Amino acid sequence: MAVNSEANSISISDLSLTFPNGFVGLKSTGLQIQSGHFCTLLGPSGSGKTTLLRAIAGLITPTTGRIRIGNTDVTDLPVQARNIGFVFQNYALFPHMSVAENIEYPLKLHNWKVDARKARVKEILDLIELPHAAGNAVGQLSGGQQQRVAIGRALAYKPSLLLLDEPMGALDRRLRQQLGAELRAIQQRTGITAVYVTHDQEEAFILSDRIAVMAHGEILQYSTPADLYARPGSRFVAEFLGEANLIDVQSVAGDMAVTAYGPLPFTAIETLHARHGQPSLLVRPEDIRFVDSGSNHPTPVLQAEVTRTLFLGSRCLVSAKMKDGKTLTVECGKSDAPREGTTCGVTWASSASIMLVQ
């Protein structure tokens, strides 16, 4: 059932969109999505995720720029000529139709012959693992099952692209995780290119080949989940993806950053998205260790007072108050967490501290 895997890349160049009321929904945006990839648009509410998705779909017309799917420039094509499957937050299934009829509906619209339709519906029911529910009314299904039908319906006529706008927004966390894994499996099995919108960073990390982090109508950074986490190009990306300790840098002296805690080593200056502004060091909580203040370490050991220890089951999040009154968050194993009120040393490898300029 794999779709033609070479033809379904997406190439967006210089796309911008100003709404009739003058509001700039998208600033000049470029994005290249490889065929067969799962790409997530991740960003806070109002950052332009839905606007970009709707522009790809052809539901709104961009002010400037081009959109290509494979070798075809689709910018001027109407929605129905773009061969795209959609899944929206409210699945918009037809409540008076059965599961099979819902899946068959777009095939009828695309004038598939009866035999081909029946065969495809069976194929899709297997794909979404609901073969026994073919005759059920959709109202009898759980939210998660309805979601699977919506995905199946969107895939039925073999679109080149699958666009999903917060399709699991209404579901609880456990169901989201389970369905996310199912969605990813279906996407990989079919080899379809998917663009998925969410503001949930954990979901984005789990599902995606690539994530585009958006804010204020712009893509700030586009990369793999691991790269975004390890090498965020800006404070916004660092703080939006996971817990981030940011230490103000007063100046740079040789290979050391001068901070309120003295000179600290660092690995790299990220200039990718460099803007004017105060540079800072990023240190992730899991990279900080508690150590004996007296012992020898290759990196500076800073004094900290443990003000709070949060027990999270398999690990602890510890608040360590520094001498300037600011707090670093330290993640450690449950047996390594120091007691609240104690003073201890904290340190991290120089490879774990990244200079952000913005």
Site of interaction with ligand ATP (CB under 6 A)? 19, 21, 23, 25, 43, 45-51, 199
CB of 273 to ligand ATP, least distance (A): 19
CB of 29 to ligand ATP, least distance (A): 12
Name the one range near Mg ion by CB under 5 A: 1-9, 42-50, 269-277, 306-314: 42-50
Query: Nearer to ligand ATP by C-beta: 211 or 354?
Result: 211
Spatial separation of the C-alpha atoms in residues 244 and 338, rounded to whole Å: 20
Min CB(199)–ligand ATP separation in Å: 5
71 binds, among Mg ion, ligand ATP, none (CB under 5 to 8 A by kind): none
Smallest separation (angstroms) from ligand ATP to the CB of 53:
8
Tell me how many residues contact Mg ion (CB under 5 A). Answer: 1
- Three-class HEC string of the chain: CCCCCCCCCEEEEEEEEECCCCCEEEEEEEEEECCCCEEEEECCCCCCHHHHHHHHHCCCCCCEEEEEECCEECCCCCHHHCCEEEECCCCCCCCCCEHHHHHHHHHHHCCCCHHHHHHHHHHHHHHCCCHHHCCCEHHHCCHHHHHHHHHHHHHCCCCCEEEEECCCCCCCHHHHHHHHHHHHHHHHHHCCEEEEEECCHHHHHHHCCEEEEEECCEEEEEECHHHHHHCCCCHHHHHHCCCCEEEECCEEECCEEEECCEEEECCCEECCCCCCCCEEEEECHHHCEEECCCCCCCCCCEEEEEEEEEECCCEEEEEEECCCCCEEEEEEECCCCCCCCCEEEEECCHHHEEEEEC
Query: Binding partner of residue 51 among Mg ion, ligand ATP, none, CB under 5 to 8 Å per kind?
Result: ligand ATP
Tally Cβ neighbours within 10 Å of residue 220: 21
Residue 50 in the binding site for Mg ion (CB under 5 A): yes
Which of 42, 306 has the CB closer to ligand ATP?
42
Q: Which does 21 bind (CB under 5 to 8 A by kind): Mg ion, ligand ATP, none?
A: ligand ATP
CB of 41 to ligand ATP, least distance (A): 8
Please provide residue 154's backbone torsions phi and psi, each rounded to the nearest 5 degrees: -65, -30
Residue 46 C-beta: closest distance to Mg ion, Å: 8
Chain residue whose CB lies nearest Mg ion = 50
Q: Nearer to ligand ATP by C-beta: 33 or 55?
A: 55
Q: Which is nearer to ligand ATP, 102 or 198 (CB)?
A: 198
The one-letter code for the residue type at 273 is H
Nearest distance in Å: CB 83, ligand ATP: 23
Nearest approach, Cβ of residue 90 and ligand ATP (Å)? 13
Scanning 50-58, 109-117, 266-274, 292-300 for contacts with Mg ion by CB under 5 A, the matching segment is 50-58
The amino acid sitting at 353 is S
212 vs 355 by CB, closer to ligand ATP? 212
Site residues (CB under 5 A) for Mg ion? 50
